[in-house]
Amino acid sequence: MTDRDDESGGAKLWRADVDALTFRPRGHGGVCMVHRHAFRTLLKGLPSPDDCAAFFREHEAAFQAAAHAKIARAGLATAVSLHLTSRDVARAIAQLAVASTDQSG
């Protein structure tokens, strides 16, 4: 996978040296990493970097929400980097699903 721009203007990049997808959360100067182990838990298998990127694109709002929740919880400064666990992402996916159901119902 190569460096690509997403809708927020931040680059998504697969970093083979750490086996992780990286992105810049909107409004935050630090980089957020999600290791392949987290994607393995979320996807219930051993995903390729392209599988991880596809899952990220499909659930980008949840990744952004998870990053912002972790930044707020930890009180991270603007330029501090962070990583998300599968639990962080799964929690955000579930919260967005509930919010979507509440809005449509």
Number of domains in the chain: 1
Beta bridge partners of 22: 13, 33
Q: With bands split at pLDDT 50, 70 and 90, how would you rate the model's confidence at 26?
A: very high
The domain of 9 spans: 4-104
H helices of the chain, where? 36-43, 49-58, 60-74, 86-104
User: 71-90: per-residue pLDDT in tens?
Assistant: 999 999 999 999 999 999 99
What Rg do the C-alpha atoms of the chain give, in angstroms? Answer: 13
Give the single-character DSSP code of 29: S
CATH at residue 26: 3.30.160.140
- Reply yes or no on whether the pLDDT at 48 is more than 50: yes
